[in-house]
A and B are shown apart, each in its own frame.
Chain A
């Protein structure tokens, strides 16, 4: 399983963009990069995933480096509700069968 490195914590101001980095230098060619987040006192929730191309959805954007050794989750305008722990998780192609391997994630604080 690929290992990931994320900052322990980051801070942002409300309504400003946030870039959350993740290093996954040992990722295999068939691993998708998934991002989940966990709001306080809740279970994790899916944010976005991608393989090679940059991806956008209603929650966030995912920018994947050309060599796939790193990726960045982008929240375009942080809100107070975005304060959470964000997890970057490499996952096998078609890996809906298997478990997710969570690291410690990045704790994002959003200041009003």
Chain B
């Protein structure tokens, strides 16, 4: 399967703990996006990378959140000192910068975070 993969698929943690999620985009996709989705709502944009450069961050991305894409391939999203309000599905998407699908974003299955 050559789609976007995310790990883990589910994470349960206690309030105050740190968590890290990983996203592996489709090979050769230069652009990578993180979104967050709470129950009954559409996904909300968090941040965007082109290669290793983080080009855009949402105001939703508080200082407890940090994202990296060190070699322009996989990306990690870390949440420090988790709060119950961080409970959500975290989605990763990737897209190429050229070609017939450059207008599309390809989403992974998401990581569901539950903060107790």
Contacts known (A96-B31, A102-B42); A42 close to B105, Cβ less than 8 A: no
Q: Mark A residues whose CB is within 8 Å of B.
A: 32, 34, 41-46, 49, 85, 87, 91, 95-105
Query: Measured between alpha carbons, how far is A1 from B24 in the docked complex, in Å?
Result: 29
Selected contact of A96 from candidates B4, B45, B91, B95, CB within 8 Å: B95
Q: Evaluate contact between B42 and A43: CB separation under 8 angstroms.
A: no
Q: Evaluate contact between A42 and B48: CB separation under 8 angstroms.
A: no
Q: Mark B residues whose CB is within 8 Å of A.
A: 4, 31, 33, 35, 40-45, 48, 50, 55-56, 58, 91, 93, 95-97, 102-110
Q: Evaluate contact between B95 and A99: CB separation under 8 angstroms.
A: no
Q: Evaluate contact between A87 and B42: CB separation under 8 angstroms.
A: yes
Total A-B residue pairs with C-beta atoms closer than 8 Å? 61
Q: Evaluate contact between B40 and A42: CB separation under 8 angstroms.
A: no
Q: Evaluate contact between A100 and B45: CB separation under 8 angstroms.
A: yes
For A101, what are the chain B residues with a Cβ–Cβ distance below 8 Å?
Answer: 45
Q: Evaluate contact between B56 and A43: CB separation under 8 angstroms.
A: no
Q: How far is the CB of A59 from chain B (nearest CB, A)?
A: 12
Q: Evaluate contact between B109 and A32: CB separation under 8 angstroms.
A: no
Contacts known (A42-B109, A43-B109, A49-B103); A98 close to B42, Cβ less than 8 A: no
Q: How far is the CB of B64 from chain A (nearest CB, A)?
A: 20
The chain A residue sitting closest to B42, CB to CB, is A102
For B43, what are the chain A residues with a Cβ–Cβ distance below 8 Å?
Answer: 44, 100, 102
**Among B33, B35, B104, residue most surrounded by chain A Cβ atoms (within 10 Å):** B104
Q: A43-B91, A99-B33 are in contact. List 10 more A-B contacts (CB 8 A).
A: A34-B103, A43-B110, A44-B91, A96-B96, A96-B103, A96-B104, A99-B45, A99-B48, A100-B35, A100-B45
